[in-house]
Amino acid sequence: MTRVLMLGWEFPPYKTGGLGTACYGLTKGLARNGVQVTFVMPIAPEGAHTDFVKLIGANQFAKNMKIIEVPSTLSPYTTAEEYDENYAPLSVKSVYGKNIYAEARRFAKIAKAIAHKEKHDVIHAHDWMTYEAGIVAKKTSHKPLVVHIHATEFDRTGDNPNPYIAHKEYEGLKAADIIIANSNFTKANVLKHYKIPEEKIRVVHWGIEEDHPDYKLNYQSPLNKDRKMVLFLGRVTLQKGPDYFIEVAKKVLDFEPKTLFIIAGDGDMLPRIIHRAHDLGISDKVIFTGFLQGQDVHKAFQMADLYVMPSVSEPFGLVALESLKNNTPTIISKQSGVSEVLKHCLKVDFWDINRMTDMIVNVLRNPELHEELRENGHSEVQKFNLDEPARKVHEIYKEVMR
């Protein structure tokens, strides 16, 4: 049996987000493929566990360790705004929480103790926050290192990277024995920005849980009665294109004034998008729900007539598969990894507001087109599962162990 020491930043239900969802699905699939996973994250409650993975919080190892932090210009900021004002270019907006640099360094120091104690054949680190920990674990146990890149710093910041994070990303990619990218789109960005040898990179597209009771809620809202609903669901950040969505909303309303737009999510751009809705005179046509999780995510999809993913730079876009699983017709950005594997959805350049408007209006006005996208999209998404990406990752483990 292959034993994997996996380093991640979050895992449901503890601090769940897109990365946590992906790690949950991957470890579940690996367990079905006979892989033993020990998943390590910065913080987890005592006794945290799942049926298919051993879950460890680095906080449990830190109790008997004295860690001394070295002051740097990266540590004094207390908010994203202060950091941007004092240290980063004006065009850069931090998308990370308070003290994430210190937490990543602390995680790396504790990784040495974890790598000593936990038996493993291969190390698997997810995204830049865990790359330093992966490097330390590799030096400690002399086991091969696989790094998984879910999004580059260039994706997250619209090609205005934080130099510190970009360097940490580069160090991890360089130290890895093999790199897993979640799409050819991501692979191309790695090659473009980091000049990593192409032969080190393997592409594994994401899958999705095949069956879940929430897919069958058939949820309807009173808001559905006399109006059509168009949904944006994701982080309200530069990468996800909410600014394009709100501009499209204004144009669609010129043609279909009874349409209601839902923006489900939170992020640093949320105040700006709220103000823009007011400036455009459409505040009464836009509902901001804030961050959704669990069953509420499925309800949002099921009450929507259409889901739009206008991402500026989307390494994969698991949310598009979730939309189709919930029987919701979908429009996705061509600048996404998921566009490589989906056929039965509409695709558009994120910047082409007029084309996106035409697509939305046509779907809302044409019941036959709406039903065709709904049926074919739902049928197509059934081919995605957790086992296939896990099988490919297991083969990568075997390759790197050889």
Claim to verify: residue 320 and residue 186 sit in the same structural domain:
no
The residue ranges of the chain whose pLDDT is under 50 are 64-97
Q: Beta strands of 49-99 (E only): which ranges? A: 54-57
Claim to verify: residue 261 and residue 348 sit in the same structural domain:
yes
How many domains is the chain partitioned into structurally?
A: 2
Claim to verify: residue 333 and residue 288 sit in the same structural domain:
yes
Claim to verify: residue 55 and residue 114 sit in the same structural domain:
yes
Handedness of CA 11, 30, 183, 115 (dihedral sign): positive
pLDDT at 103: 85
pLDDT at 225: 80
Claim to verify: residue 104 and residue 247 sit in the same structural domain:
no
Claim to verify: residue 364 and residue 392 sit in the same structural domain:
no
pLDDT at 55: 83
Please choose, from the candidates 398, 143, 328, 356, the residue with its C-alpha nearest in 3D space to the C-alpha of residue 248: 356
Q: Output the six-digit token pair for 349.
A: 């350049």
What CATH code is carried by the domain that includes residue 127?
3.40.50.2000
Helix 184-194 crosses helix 163-175 at what angle (to 10 degrees)? 110
Claim to verify: residue 235 and residue 321 sit in the same structural domain:
yes
- Please say whether the beta carbons of 356 and 248 come within 8 A: yes
**Residue range(s) defining the domain that contains residue 315:** 213-381
Claim to verify: residue 39 and residue 184 sit in the same structural domain:
yes
Q: How far, in Å, CA of 327 to CA of 218, rounded? A: 9
Condensed to tens digits (0 to 9), the pLDDT of residues 218-269 reads 898 888 788 999 999 999 999 999 999 999 999 999 999 999 999 999 999 9
Q: Which amino acid is at 267?
A: G
Claim to verify: residue 131 and residue 7 sit in the same structural domain:
yes
pTM for this prediction: 0.87
Claim to verify: residue 173 and residue 241 sit in the same structural domain:
no
Beta strands across the sheet bearing 229-233: 286-290, 260-264, 229-233, 306-309, 330-333, 346-348
Claim to verify: residue 149 and residue 241 sit in the same structural domain:
no
pLDDT at 15: 67
Claim to verify: residue 148 and residue 58 sit in the same structural domain:
yes
